[in-house]
Structure 1
């Protein structure tokens, strides 16, 4: 398993810490998926869960888009993967989903998120509310770290089930 992640610094300002921890967790999901076939990426966990590594990648592409394009930048557009009509499409509809498209979309959303985030102060309030609440850019970054950390735990279990590989 290839690992090109750069560990977050032990000392740094708040912005550097948030940015570096988010990058670490983005990289962790990539590491968990590295070297697997399309079939392995589609392999579901244990019933009744339909979770798969491919589903996690698709989900995180959606999450990146929702928070950075939507909440932070105020963009309105369709949700990825048909989630406008089927809330769990990112997880459920992986059997014939394109692995290349999922990873390309995830990376494109990460690239866009980096660009938007770089130009916004931490205290800035997003241009859209979430569940009727304003969200600061700082809150969005912390939430994204939490979202990746939680799902990376899932990814670790999925990867171990597939081929026994474990790791940070």
Structure 2
């Protein structure tokens, strides 16, 4: 069993509202990627619960949520976003997620917090929820805990 040292959340004092919100979102984004990056096939896409949820599918879904929330790119089927194609490996899905995050950050960089407050909070909630799922799934795969 591997126990990673927990990383504390970003500081809550001293920053603007935008800095605090973006700090928490970046913290959660990094946590989800860390749970997926070093998991080998086929464990990274193995269903850990009856719903079929798996690490690679969670990260792929979050890619679509970033795109929908900040770029207006809605998928045809939200359910389908939880399934990574067989020819997409971990590095492909991580790269796609990082590109969606980069593009979302470009939108955020050009916005005021008043323009994007709801979207930021929604993305924090969505990423946090799935980061929790990823924590449990990763522990079921190899006993790894922590961020």
Would you say same fold, with TM above 0.5?
Answer: yes
The SS at the match of 1:19 is helix
Q: Which residue number corresponds to residue 71 of structure 2?
A: 69
Larger Cα-atom Rg? 1
Say which is worse superposed, 156-165 or 31-40, in terms of deviation: 31-40
Paired with 2:143 and 2:137, the residues of 1 have a C-alpha distance of: 9
Say which is worse superposed, 36-45 or 22-31, in terms of deviation: 36-45
* Structure richer in helix, relative to its length: 2
Paired with 1:101 and 1:43, the residues of 2 have a C-alpha distance of: 17
Q: Which residue number corresponds to residue 96 of structure 1?
A: 86
Q: Identify the structure with bigger relative contact order (alpha carbons < 8 Å, sequence gap 6+).
A: 2
What CA RMSD, in Å, does the superposition of the two structures yield over aligned residues?
2.0
Does residue 34 of structure 2 align to residue 37 of structure 1? no
How far has the Cα of 1:95 moved from its partner?
6.0
Unaligned stretches of 5+ residues in structure 1: 71-76, 125-136
Q: After superposition, give the CA deviation of every residue in 1:13-69 in whole Å (9 maximum; x if it has no partner).
A: 21110010000000010111132113121011221x110000011000000000110
Paired with 2:26 and 2:121, the residues of 1 have a C-alpha distance of: 12
Say which is worse superposed, 94-103 or 55-64, in terms of deviation: 94-103
How far has the Cα of 1:7 moved from its partner?
3.9
Q: Which residue number corresponds to residue 117 of structure 1?
A: 108
How many residues in Structure 1 have an aligned counterpart in Structure 2?
Answer: 142
Paired with 1:28 and 1:38, the residues of 2 have a C-alpha distance of: 20
Unaligned stretches of 5+ residues in structure 2: none
How far has the Cα of 1:9 moved from its partner?
1.5
How far has the Cα of 1:87 moved from its partner?
3.4
